[in-house]
């Protein structure tokens, strides 16, 4: 295994029109210096039929461009239909599957797999248990502070640890669809209103301050985590993978900024200028890493 | 006709509440140690080791069991408080421990194989496959089901898995998948998983502004109340927010969960135990809710319709919900 730090493009969390999804991954395949692309609907199983074979086609295009493909499982598996779909996914794909719900773990027994940021890995005991069972890559939850990340990296054995360094942070999942609720609809008759907000629906306080973003059953941060200033520390701890979470912005530009940073071209002010200009729809934050509120900027 | 009564699992934040719950007819009491190993890590609450020993003796003498919740996630670099909590619960004779973390479940299984292990709601095991996984890997005997399931889904789980299930019956209600929610730490830096607190009081501020009472958590406004409007505690997911140009309780209204009128369907669904939320509540509240549920559970076991009138006066904001147990909630 090479020690070069790797860039992962996380799964697309939002409900985009099919043609935009195709165009997005086509551009990533051609232009983005990422090593790995996670595909798959993580948030809402109801969206999957809308996509049809789009992601499978994207997988072909991305693989042809030399990208490693990882399939990400649902974040919340509640009923038999969702379980069956997860089983189908795991049986039909030979590559690495990322479990985002504990439910996927027994299905992955006996084959190498990845653990996504929606699975709770807070300590060495859990990490080592998962690694013994075949987890070879673990993307940590956003709320872990530097001390925890560092301890986990020390005890990861041969597994790769990944940290999300760009994008809105996943904060919660629910049985209830807040997109539907905000539009006066029920989850069963949601009319797919989550397609109105390509980066999530703004949730503001009653003072008009931006606070959170709703994406169907998921709640995200309003702010965009940006750990570019923490890159030296993360590398020193032994973090080998860096995750960019897709947004409707120029993700190719974001990927280039991060590739440069990881390749040692550490012009941090320039990097932050580009990140803030490209992802201008929300401010950056890095509080969690520093043991502060996730929304904070340190 | 007499059916097997649902086991009543009741909260105790203090020794006085434990005695009140036992005296009011609790079958089991759940509680936590006085530190961040449990998900109600509030000042002035919870049990020392001595208090646990006394509580187990008191409950035991009246036929009730004691369960110790060690249901936060051990901290990387410092698992000691969590493993010690499991060791001490075992040594003091707790009937069961309620755990959420995989590493801690593995520890308990290896070091205390005879100590009964329940899966905390904080593990959010929401389907038969996940539950079977915890049973197979860690010998879990009972699962506290997430509040995201409908009664039909609970019935299917009980058909599919040989495990006892416990469901939330009354009190505060999480609208997010439990143990997978970082909203509190996003605003305050402290979370249920890492610190055992949600929307903690030391981060709450109230201020008067233009004749309105404004409640804030961390730096964020969670709600505003007009003169005379009852001001609820600013739990983040129960706040009023602006989305789609409309101010509303976007995530959930400030309601309490109350399943007392669906007890027969929960029994039909194969549920073993009912859990009453509220370790942060006083002993008078605990006594009142436990005795009302004792009567309701016994009535349901006799095949009678439970009378629940006395519960409606003590729910949050006077409003009740059966939550996700009915599909329309979603």
Is B129 in the same domain as B264?
yes
Q: Could you tell me if residue B211 is inside a domain?
A: yes
| Structural domains of chain B, count | 2
* Number of independent structural domains in chain A: 1
Cα separation of the two ends of chain A: 34
Q: Name which of B102, B129, B222 is nearest A103 (Cβ-Cβ).
A: B129
* Nearest chain A CA: its distance from B209 CA (Å): 11
What is the per-residue pLDDT for B255?
A: 79
Residue A284 lies in a domain: no
Whether residue B237 lies inside any domain: the answer is: yes
CATH of residue A133: 3.20.20.70
Percent of residues in chain B assigned helix, strand, coil, to nearest 5: 40, 20, 40
Q: Quick one: B79 and B109 in the same domain? A: yes
The answer to the question of residue B243 being in a domain is: yes
- The model's confidence at residue A268, banded by pLDDT at 50, 70 and 90, is very high
Can you tell me the distance from the alpha carbon of A166 to that of A185, in angstroms, rounded to the nearest whole number?
Answer: 32
For residue B268, what is the domain's CATH number?
3.20.20.70
Domain contains B320: yes
When mean pLDDT is compared across A33-37, A88-92, B15-19, B56-60, the lowest value belongs to: A88-92
**Which is higher by pLDDT, B182 or B312?**
B182
pLDDT value of position A270: 96
pLDDT score of A2 more than 90: no
Among candidates B125, B193, B243 on the partner chain, residue whose Cβ is nearest the Cβ of A122: B193
Which chain A residues touch B76 with a CB distance below 8 Å? 122-124, 144, 147-149, 151-152
Q: Is residue A193 part of a domain?
A: no
For residue A104, is it within any domain? yes
Closest-CA residue of B relative to A189 is B330
> Which of B129, B135, B173, B203 is most worth mutating to test chain A (most A CB atoms within 10 A of its CB)?
B129
Q: Are B200 and B188 in contact (CB under 8 A)?
A: yes
Select from A148, A175, A288 the Cβ nearest to the Cβ of B330.
A175
Q: What is the mean pLDDT of residues A200-228?
A: 98
Give chain B's radius of gyration (CA, Å). 19
Q: Which domain holds residue A158?
A: 6-167+223-273
Distance CA A37, CA A9 (A): 5
Tell if the pTM clears 0.90, that is, is over it.
Answer: yes
A182 within some domain: no
pLDDT, mean of residues B5-14: 96
Say if the Cβ atoms of A182 and B129 lie within 8 Å: no
Choosing from B223, B248, B273, the residue where a domain stops is B248
The reply to whether B150 and B191 lie within a common domain is no
Largest alpha-carbon pair distance within chain B?
A: 61
Question: What ipTM is given for this predicted complex?
Answer: 0.97
Same-domain status, B230 and B193: yes
Contact (CB<8Å) B242/A212: no
Q: Is residue A56 part of a domain?
A: yes
What's the angle, vertex CA B247, arms to CA B246 and CA B250, rounded to 5?
A: 100
CB atoms within 10 A of CB B14: 20
CA A257 to centroid of chain Cα atoms: 18
Tell me the per-residue pLDDT of A108-157, one tens digit each, with 9 for 90 and over: 998 999 999 999 999 999 999 999 999 999 999 999 999 999 999 999 99
Report if residue A174 sits inside a domain: no
For strands A218-226 and A160-173, give the pairing: antiparallel
On whether any CB of chain A is under 8 Å from the CB of B212, the answer is no
Q: Is residue B92 part of a domain?
A: yes
Q: Which domain holds residue B31?
A: 7-173+255-329
Nearest CA among A230, A209, A219 for reference residue A285 = A230
Residues B282 and B206 in one domain: no
More confident residue, A130 or B311: A130
Q: Are residues B11 and B142 in the same domain?
A: yes
Q: Are residues B164 and B197 in the same domain?
A: no
Pair (B261, B289) in one structural domain:
yes
In a domain, B21, yes or no: yes
Nearest CA distance, B316 vs chain A (angstrom): 21
Residue A263 domain-assigned (yes or no): yes
Please name the residues in contact with B157: beta carbons below 8 A apart, sequence gap of 6 or more.
B127, B128, B131, B145, B149, B165
Cβ of A151 within 8 Å of Cβ of B76? The answer is yes
Three-state secondary structure of A21-81: HHHHHHHHHHHCCCCEEEECCCCCHHHHHHHCCHHHHHHHHHHHCCCEEEEECCCCCCCHH
In a domain, A38, yes or no: yes
Per the prediction, chain A carries an average pLDDT of 96
Q: pLDDT band for B126, please (50, 70, 90 cuts).
A: confident
**Residue B52 near residue B92 (C-beta atoms within 8 A):** yes
Q: A46-100, pLDDT tens digit by residue?
A: 998 899 899 999 999 999 999 999 999 999 987 788 889 999 999 999 899 999 9
Size of interface A-B (CB pairs under 8 A): 210
Give the integer Cα–Cα distance in Å for A128 and B135: 19
The last residue of one of the domains, among B248, B279, B304, is B248
Query: Residues near B50 by Cβ (< 8 Å), separated by ≥ 6?
Result: none
Measured between beta carbons, which residues in chain B are less than 8 angstroms from residue A108?
A: none
B242 touching A, CB under 8 A?
A: yes
Chain A residues with CB-CB distance to B189 below 8 A: 287, 291-294, 296
Length of chain A: 298
Residue B271 sits in the same domain as residue B136: yes
Q: Are residues B119 and B152 in the same domain?
A: yes
Tell me the pLDDT of chain B averaged across its residues.
92
Suggest the residue from B148, B168, B180 to mutate for an interface test with chain A (most A CBs closer than 10 A): B180
Chain B residues with CB inside 8 Å of A106's CB? 129, 132-133, 136
Domain membership of residue B2 (yes or no) is no
B200: left (phi over 0), alpha (psi -120 to 50) or beta: beta
Residue A186: the pLDDT is 92
Could you count the other beta carbons within 10 Å of the beta carbon of residue A209?
12
- B61 and B203, same domain (yes or no): no
- Chain B, residues 270-309, CB within 8 A of chain A, namely none
Give the neighbor-by-neighbor strand order of the sheet with B220-225: B204-209, B212-217, B220-225
- For residue B29, tell me if it sits in a domain: yes
| pLDDT tens digits, B229-254 | 888 899 999 999 999 999 999 999 88
Distance from CA of B281 to the nearest CA of A (A): 26
Q: Where are the alpha helices (DSSP H) in chain A?
A: 18-31, 48-51, 54-64, 80-92, 104-108, 124-132, 146-154, 178-182, 231-237, 251-262, 268-278
B250 touching chain A per CB within 8 A: yes
B147 and B112 share a domain? yes
């Amino acid at each position: 295994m090479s020690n070069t730090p790797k860039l992962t493009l996380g799964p697309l969390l939002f409900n985009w029109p099919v043609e935009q999804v195709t165009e997005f991954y086509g551009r990533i395949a051609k232009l983005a210096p990422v090593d790995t692309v996670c595909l798959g609907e993580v948030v809402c199983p109801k969206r999957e039929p809308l996509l049809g074979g789009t992601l499978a086609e994207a997988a072909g295009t991305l693989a042809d461009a030399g990208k490693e493909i990882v399939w990400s499982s649902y974040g919340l598996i509640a009923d038999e239909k969702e379980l069956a779909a997860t089983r189908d996914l795991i049986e039909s794909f030979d590559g690495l599957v990322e479990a985002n719900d504990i439910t996927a773990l027994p299905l992955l027994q006996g084959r190498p797999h990845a653990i996504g940021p929606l699975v709770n890995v807070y300590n060495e005991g859990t990490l080592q248990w998962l690694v013994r069972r075949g987890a070879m890559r673990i993307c940590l939850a956003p709320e872990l502070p530097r001390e925890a990340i560092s301890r986990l990296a020390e005890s990861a054995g041969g597994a790769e640890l990944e940290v999300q360094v760009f994008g809105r942070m996943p904060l919660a999942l629910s049985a209830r669809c807040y997109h539907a609720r905000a539009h006066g609809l029920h989850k069963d008759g949601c009319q797919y209103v989550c397609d109105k907000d390509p980066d999530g629906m703004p949730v503001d306080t009653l003072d008009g301050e931006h606070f959170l973003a709703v994406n169907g059953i998921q709640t995200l941060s309003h702010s965009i985590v940006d750990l570019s200033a923490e890159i030296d520390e993360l590398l020193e701890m032994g973090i080998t993978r860096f995750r960019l979470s897709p947004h409707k912005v120029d993700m190719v530009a974001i990927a280039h900024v991060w590739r440069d940073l990881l390749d040692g071209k550490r012009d941090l002010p320039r990097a932050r200028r580009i990140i803030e200009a490209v992802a201008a729809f929300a401010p950056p934050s890095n509080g969690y890493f520093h043991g502060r509120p996730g929304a904070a900027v340190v | 006709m007499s059916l097997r009564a649902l086991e009543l699992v009741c909260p105790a934040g203090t020794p006085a509440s434990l005695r009140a719950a036992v005296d009011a007819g609790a079958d089991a009491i759940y509680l936590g140690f006085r530190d961040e190993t449990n998900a109600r890590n509030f000042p002035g609450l919870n049990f020392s080791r001595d208090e646990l020993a006394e509580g187990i003796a008191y409950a035991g003498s009246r036929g009730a069991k004691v369960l110790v919740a060690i249901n936060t996630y051990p901290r990387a670099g410092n698992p000691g408080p969590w493993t010690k909590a499991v060791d001490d619960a075992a040594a003091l004779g707790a009937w069961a421990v309620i755990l959420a973390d995989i590493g801690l479940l593995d520890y308990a299984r290896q070091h205390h194989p005879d100590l009964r292990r329940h899966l905390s709601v904080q593990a959010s095991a929401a389907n038969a496959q996940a539950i079977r996984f915890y049973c197979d890997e860690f010998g879990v005997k009972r699962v506290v089901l997430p509040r995201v399931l409908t009664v039909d889904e609970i019935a299917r789980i009980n058909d599919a898995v040989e495990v006892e299930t416990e469901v939330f019956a009354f009190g505060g209600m999480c609208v997010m998948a439990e143990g997978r929610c970082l909203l509190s730490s996003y605003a305050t830096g402290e979370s249920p998983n890492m610190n055992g607190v949600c929307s903690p009081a030391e981060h709450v501020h109230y201020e008067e502004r233009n004749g309105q009472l404004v409640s804030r958590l961390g730096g964020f406004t969670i709600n505003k109340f007009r003169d005379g409007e009852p001001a609820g505690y600013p739990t983040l997911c129960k706040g009023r927010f602006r989305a789609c140009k409309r101010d509303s309780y976007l995530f959930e209204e400030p309601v309490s969960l109350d399943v007392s009128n669906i007890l027969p369907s929960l029994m039909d669904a194969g549920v073993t135990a009912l859990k009453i939320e509220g370790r942060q509540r006083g002993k008078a509240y605990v006594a009142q809710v436990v005795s009302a549920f004792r009567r309701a559970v016994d009535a349901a076991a006799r095949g009678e319709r439970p009378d629940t009138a006395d519960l409606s006066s003590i729910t949050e904001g006077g409003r009740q919900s059966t939550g996700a147990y009915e599909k329309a909630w979603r």
